[in-house]
Amino acid sequence: MKIQILLASTLLMSATTFAKPITTNSSTSEQVGYSFGYLMGRSNADSMKDLNLEAFIQGLREAAQGKDASLTDEEMARILTQYKKQAEAQQLLELKKQAETNGKIGTAFLAENAKKAGVQTTASGLQYQVLKTGTGKTPKMSSKVKVDYEGRLIDGTVFDSSIARQHPAEFQVNQVIQGWTEGLQLMKEGAKYRFFIPSNLAYGQIGSGDIIEPNSTLIFDVELLQVLP
């Protein structure tokens, strides 16, 4: 990281503001500078979107040139701490709004889905549809199972699929989200079910990763291949 920052600083010191586009015909120094700057900007786009880039470049250049900072270390630390707190507060507010919106959408979806033929709803709110019946063993809470599955959002976005990877998953029934734990115990080996899982039986108000937002209702197609010894 230190080497990367020093390289960026060196490039910024030697570069001027380019009005012309950088192409493969530009000098090596220009191409390297542009590439490094663009990739740094792209990978940090979210954290840099509210920054004054001219001030950022000025600070980077002056530090690399060994000039005294116009702000003390204490002042910079205080400013950055305050900025971080404000950014976190804004993020929490946005997540709360997102969770409320997704919760309403999920509730409406499940209410309509419950009316469809073949969809059954358990006491917990889990909905399921039998796509194929099975004839083998039924797993218990402590069982280890082998399954093929595909998970998607209610808008159809696929976020995980052992089917696409062509590699079934193995795990213990009580070590997955609550909707899976309950749903798997309704199945027999060889069965294929579609689960419609309310957010409180999935990842709740936290969500998971970049795709599964807070309070997301999830749909899983699950085939129980085997209850393992």
Catalytic option among 128, 148, 160, 197: 160
Identify whether 56 is a catalytic site residue.
no
Of 34, 36, 109, 159, which one is the catalytic site residue?
159
Query: Position 130: which residue type?
Result: V
Alpha carbons 102 and 84: distance in angstroms, whole number = 26
Tokens for 128, please give them. Answer: 């399921």
Is 220 a residue of the active site?
A: yes
- Whether 147 contacts 162, CB under 8 Å: yes
Q: For residues 175 and 195, what is the distance between their CA atoms, to the nearest angstrom?
A: 17
- What 8-state DSSP symbol labels residue 186? T
195 annotated active-site: no
Report the number of secondary-structure helices (H) and strands (E) in the chain: 7, 7
Q: Which helix (H) or strand (E) holds 57?
A: helix 53-64
Strand ranges inside the chain, DSSP E: 119-121, 127-132, 144-153, 158-161, 169-172, 192-197, 218-228
Q: Is 160 a catalytic residue?
A: yes
Instruction: Identify whether 177 is a catalytic site residue.
Output: yes
- 197 an active-site residue? no
Catalytic hit among 128, 148, 149, 196? 149
Cβ distance 171 to 181 under 8 Å? no
Taking a C-beta distance cutoff of 8 angstroms, is the pair 217, 157 a contact?
no
As annotated, the active-site residues are: 149, 159-160, 177, 203, 220
